[in-house]
């Protein structure tokens, strides 16, 4: 039976059997695991109580328990009296105690989540390969198509520097050691004699955690953010990727597919040091400094990996044969590095693999020294390009395979090659992002220098025509040695010159894409292409096109997302720009923003418009013969596109994923996913499996057009009515004063959690001036979490009222996009607590501004009612009782932190105008922000 001949009921039944969230990793799912988790939590909190008693006295522990007990009472008058009566110094240690609790709970939850997922058997790759194998068997997938798509498959998590991770790296390291110790103690194979030593070690780590300051003393600089990214990347390179890629190879072998040694199904990216939009601290000099840090760290990682493998490469030519190619390369190495040769020849002369890797190690050391000292490349003595390193490592493996030694050839040396190819010399590829207005300001100055003073006043169509001609023209706008080009032009050209310098120094993959934020039309891309031409990054004059970097528009608001398809059509229809895309391998990257679109129109309209934009972009890219690489700018919270990554990938429109995809990893999401190697493995495997499955099996729709049309129309209605409700709220003049009063958003700027300012410069203090991250962060602190649900109830009710109830339930049961959307909203509603929020409103919001809270309450009640109507459940997370109980457990500790934060906010705001709050008072408040962030996790 062909897909076209299947009935709608058969198709929907089939779709319901597709992998759900659990297939790619979920939360706690068994009572036994929950019991084990509770036991670990009790053990750690007991140790925390002992640490508090040792350092602060029994009175503090008694106060903690008193506050926690009172926070559970319906009448909070006594709790307010206790909290208002404590001095700022006591408030500091009280806030620290609850924060430390959440840090320990998070760590044990992460550990047990990984243990449970591991116990479930084979991971998500196995399931994906099963489905691919079935498609090969029934003829719905050809082997030729599978192999073509596999050549393009690339999942690239991009670590950003966006400030939502409140915990210091020092704290995260201690917590990882706590998790490792707990894991050791739970190992049934552990000798009984080790028990006392392990218990002492765990107590020591908890004590150290209490002694460590949770707050950063100073605001981090971009280089500090880059160091954090490097910390995680090195851990992933060492402890996660080798096993993961070996598993992918093993699973593909089940369908008779071999993963080439140099394949890159997994890569990593970074924005630290490259994201200039709104961050004056990211200068060209800082960009170069961070690239230097990445590469010295990356090469050090490679040296460590080579050291590890080198000890195993003991095969002797008295037993095995080396290829002529390997022998010739050793002779060349000995000539280029005679001192190294003399030091290793006596002991290792008959061990060609060890000899070769010894030379590789020395060349890597010399490469690192060259980058540190800024000296010239010496051919044969260090590495100029990464390809040279891969070639040397491949010589070793090829020699093994030529001798029939497949166990060794497909063993440690293959793992080393794959890890090296995945991370390169710099661990991650940096993206550069800049605002479109900066490029037009630069061009206005350059045109004015040559007498064309009208650029700034051109209407957009005229500007597009001017720039299209300019791209195709060989004339320069600047001459050799010209320096007086103007401030804006100097800034833009200086950045592009740094990109050229980085490419010359580190190779073609160090910076791959220049992202243009606030892209409104094609002139915003054409402008940066013209500027790139001025510094030699682009050369379109000859028959051989030079395009050393690619260019990507970023669509952020709902209006920009609606225009994304027509813009891509216009972009690819321009013959000059199309030559650039061809020179970049016929790949066009598009970045989709979730944060600003959600802040602009609400979550329903934002998520739906992102989905619709992908459909249009997919169709246009296909028409032009271009591979679309979508870059999803997702945050950690639902209001900024957050949620399980694998589910999000599987919920994309069919055909929109054709191999490569990039997804941001922001703030606390990075530590939640990658702080433990086991969790890092599970998260990466789930996402990689989803990318592979979506690219190979979800290329066309199996659903009838009329069915999809009904779903689309229903979602159009949900999004439109949701947007109306949301915009009515945010356009109310009372909202911003309410938001500022009812949340600690103004205090977030003092948290020192990111190098970028929380507000856009030059604004008047309104909603438009506030960045999306503090918008979400602030609402989360007071438990309103409005960006993750507001408007959804109005949208769903409109659809039900229009007679679309059965369609909504059908969509929830069978449409991955809608099911994921509703599930994420349901999670946000579970974390929302308007009773706690009411405490903020009553204590902090002036009487004349409180009415808007009634609007929020009504929409919350409506959304809760309508979501349950869609899911058919009686309570939120009814199908995930263990997860629901886990969140309830957190609430028993979150409630006192919220109460303390309300008390401290009131005290801080009661300080006379112009006066600075007491240092301890300010510190205690910031600690509550830190603690609530730890308790709720996806806060930004």
Nearest one of 773, 772, 756 to 225, comparing CA atoms: 756
**Is the alpha carbon torsion for 446, 448, 452, 457 positive or negative?**
positive
Whole-number Cα distances in Å, 176 to 102, 182, 209, 233, 235: 14, 10, 11, 15, 12
Helix (H) or strand (E) holding 270: strand 269-270
Asked if 599 is an active-site residue, the reply is: yes
How large is the angle between the packed helices 564-573 and 603-623, nearest 10 degrees? 20
**Is the alpha carbon torsion for 216, 217, 219, 221 positive or negative?**
negative
- Point out the catalytic residue in the list 162, 292, 797, 898: 162
Q: How far apart are the C-alpha atoms of 499 and 535, rounded to whole Å?
A: 10
Q: How far apart are the C-alpha atoms of 759 and 735, rounded to whole Å?
A: 17
Query: According to the 3-state scheme, what is the secondary structure of 612-640?
Result: HHHHHHHHHHHHCCCEEEEEEECCCCHHH
Q: How far apart are the C-alpha atoms of 64 and 300, rounded to whole Å?
A: 46
Q: How far apart are the C-alpha atoms of 731 and 751, rounded to whole Å?
A: 28
Q: How far apart are the C-alpha atoms of 252 and 246, rounded to whole Å?
A: 10
Q: How far apart are the C-alpha atoms of 553 and 572, rounded to whole Å?
A: 13
Beta strands in 487-556 (DSSP E): 511-517, 538-539, 546-547, 550-555
CB atoms within 10 A of CB 292: 19
Nearest one of 729, 721, 767, 776 to 748, comparing CA atoms: 776
The tokens for 58 are: 């029994």
Q: How far apart are the C-alpha atoms of 656 and 74, rounded to whole Å?
A: 51
User: What is the pairing mode between strands 550-555 and 587-593?
Assistant: parallel
CA 488 to chain centroid, in Å, comes to 31
The neighbouring-strand residues paired with 587 are 627
Q: How far apart are the C-alpha atoms of 119 and 131, rounded to whole Å?
A: 22
Maximum pairwise Cα distance, the chain:
90
Q: At CA 400, angle to CA 239 and CA 385, rounded to 5?
A: 60
3-class DSSP state of 235:
helix
Nearest one of 810, 583, 821, 555 to 21, comparing CA atoms: 821
Using the structure block, give the residue that is written with the tokens 């216009």: 570
- Point out the catalytic residue in the list 34, 439, 599, 831: 599
3-class DSSP state of 486:
coil
Residue pair 551/513 in contact by the 8 Å Cβ criterion: yes
Helix%, strand%, coil% for the chain, nearest 5: 65, 5, 30
3-class DSSP state of 661:
strand
Residue pair 902/839 in contact by the 8 Å Cβ criterion: yes
CA 760 to chain centroid, in Å, comes to 23
Q: How far apart are the C-alpha atoms of 204 and 354, rounded to whole Å?
A: 42
What's 412's DSSP letter?
H
Phi, psi values for residue 665, rounded to 5°: -115, 115
Residue pair 649/694 in contact by the 8 Å Cβ criterion: yes
Using the structure block, give the residue that is written with the tokens 């590890």: 308
Asked if 898 is an active-site residue, the reply is: no
Whole-number Cα distances in Å, 203 to 39, 60, 176, 177, 209: 16, 19, 14, 12, 10
- Residues with catalytic annotation? 162, 599
């Amino acid at each position: 039976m062909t897909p076209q001949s299947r009935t709608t009921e058969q198709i929907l039944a089939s779709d319901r059997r597709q992998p759900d969230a659990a297939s790619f990793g979920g939360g706690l799912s068994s009572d036994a695991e929950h019991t084990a988790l509770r036991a670990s939590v009790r053990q750690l909190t007991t140790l925390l109580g002992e640490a508090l008693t040792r350092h602060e006295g029994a009175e503090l522990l008694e106060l903690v328990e008193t506050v926690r007990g009172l926070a559970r009472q319906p009448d909070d008058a006594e709790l307010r009296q206790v909290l208002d009566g404590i001095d700022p110094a006591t408030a500091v240690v009280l806030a620290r105690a609850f924060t430390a609790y959440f840090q320990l709970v998070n760590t044990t939850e992460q550990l047990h989540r990984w243990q449970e997922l591991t116990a479930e058997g084979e991971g998500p790759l196995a399931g994906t390969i099963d489905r691919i194998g079935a498609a090969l068997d029934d003829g719905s997938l050809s082997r030729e198509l599978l192999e073509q798509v596999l050549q393009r498959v690339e999942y690239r998590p991009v670590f950003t520097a966006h400030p939502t991770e409140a915990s210091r790296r020092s704290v995260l390291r201690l917590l990882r050691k706590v998790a490792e110790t707990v894991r050791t103690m739970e190992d049934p194979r552990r000798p009984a004699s080790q028990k006392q030593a392990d218990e002492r070690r765990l107590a020591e780590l908890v004590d150290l955690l209490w002694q460590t300051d949770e707050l950063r003393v100073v605001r981090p600089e971009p280089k500090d953010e880059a160091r954090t990214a490097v910390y995680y990347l090195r851990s992933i390179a060492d402890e996660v990727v080798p096993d993961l890629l070996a598993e992918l190879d093993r699973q593909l072998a089940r369908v008779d597919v071999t993963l080439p040694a140099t394949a890159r199904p997994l890569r990593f990216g970074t924005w630290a040091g490259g994201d200039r939009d709104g961050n004056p601290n990211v200068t060209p000099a800082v960009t170069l400094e961070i690239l230097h840090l990445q590469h010295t760290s990356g090469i050090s990682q490679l040296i460590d990996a080579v050291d590890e493998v080198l000890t195993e490469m003991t095969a002797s030519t008295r037993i095995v044969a080396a290829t002529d190619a390997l022998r010739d390369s050793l002779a060349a190495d000995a000539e280029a590095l005679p001192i190294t040769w003399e030091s290793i020849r006596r002991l290792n002369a008959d061990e060609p693999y060890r000899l070769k890797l010894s030379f590789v190690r020395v060349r890597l050391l010399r490469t690192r020294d060259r980058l540190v000292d800024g000296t010239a490349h010496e051919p044969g003595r260090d590495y100029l390009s990464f390809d040279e390193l891969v070639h040397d490592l491949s010589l070793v493996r090829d020699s093994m395979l030529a001798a029939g030694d497949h166990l060794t050839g497909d063993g440690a040396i293959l793992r080393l090659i794959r890890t090296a190819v995945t991370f390169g010399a710099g661990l991650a590829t940096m993206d550069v992002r800049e605002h479109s207005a900066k490029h037009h300001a630069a061009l206005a100055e350059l045109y004015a220098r040559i007498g064309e003073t009208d650029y700034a006043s051109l209407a957009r169509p005229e500007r597009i025509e001017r720039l299209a001609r300019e791209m195709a023209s060989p004339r320069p706008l600047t001459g050799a040695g010209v320096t007086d080009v103007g401030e804006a032009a100097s800034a833009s050209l200086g950045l592009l010159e740094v990109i050229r310098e980085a490419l010359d120094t580190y190779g073609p993959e160090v910076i791959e894409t220049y992202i243009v934020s606030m892209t409104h039309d094609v002139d915003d891309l054409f402008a940066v292409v013209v500027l790139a031409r001025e510094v030699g990054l682009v050369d379109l004059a000859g028959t051989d096109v030079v395009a050393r970097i690619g260019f990507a528009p970023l669509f952020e608001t709902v209006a920009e997302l609606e225009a994304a398809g027509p813009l891509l059509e216009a972009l690819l229809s321009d013959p000059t720009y199309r030559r650039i895309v061809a020179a970049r391998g016929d790949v066009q990257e598009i970045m989709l923003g979730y944060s600003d679109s959600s802040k602009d129109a609400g979550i329903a309209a934002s998520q739906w418009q992102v989905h619709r934009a992908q459909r249009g972009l997919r169709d246009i890219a296909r028409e032009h013969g271009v591979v679309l690489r979508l870059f999803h700018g997702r945050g950690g919270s639902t209001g900024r596109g957050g949620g399980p990554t694998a589910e999000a990938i599987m919920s994309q429109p069919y055909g929109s994923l054709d191999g490569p995809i990039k997804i941001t990893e922001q703030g606390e999401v990075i530590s939640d996913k990658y702080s433990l190697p086991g969790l890092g493995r599970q998260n990466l495997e789930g996402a990689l499996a989803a990318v592979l499955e979506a690219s190979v099996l979800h290329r066309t729709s199996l659903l009838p057009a009329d069915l999809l049309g009904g779903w689309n129309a229903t979602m159009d209605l949900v999004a439109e009515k949701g947007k109306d409700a949301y915009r009515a709220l945010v356009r109310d003049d009372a909202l911003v004063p309410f938001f500022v009063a009812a949340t600690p958003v103004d205090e977030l700027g003092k948290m020192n959690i990111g190098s970028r300012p929380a507000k856009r410069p030059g604004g008047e203090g309104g909603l438009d001036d506030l960045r999306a991250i503090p918008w979400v962060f602030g609402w989360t602190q007071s438990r309103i979490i409005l960006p993750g649900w507001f408007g959804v109830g109005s949208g769903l009710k409109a659809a039900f009222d229009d007679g679309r109830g059965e369609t909504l339930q059908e969509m929830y049961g069978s449409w991955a996009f809608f099911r994921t959307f509703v599930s994420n909203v349901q999670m946000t509603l579970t974390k929302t607590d308007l009773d706690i929020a009411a405490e903020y409103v009553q204590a902090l919001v002036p009487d004349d501004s409180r009415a808007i809270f009634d609007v929020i309450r009504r929409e919350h009640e409506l959304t809760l009612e309508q979501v349950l109507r869609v899911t058919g459940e009686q309570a939120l997370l009814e199908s995930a009782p263990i997860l629901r109980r886990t969140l309830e457990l957190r609430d028993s500790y979150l409630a006192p932190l919220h109460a303390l934060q309300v008390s401290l906010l009131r005290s801080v705001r009661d300080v006379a105008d112009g006066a600075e709050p007491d240092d301890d008072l300010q510190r205690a408040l910031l600690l509550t922000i830190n603690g609530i962030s730890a308790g709720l996790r996806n806060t930004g």
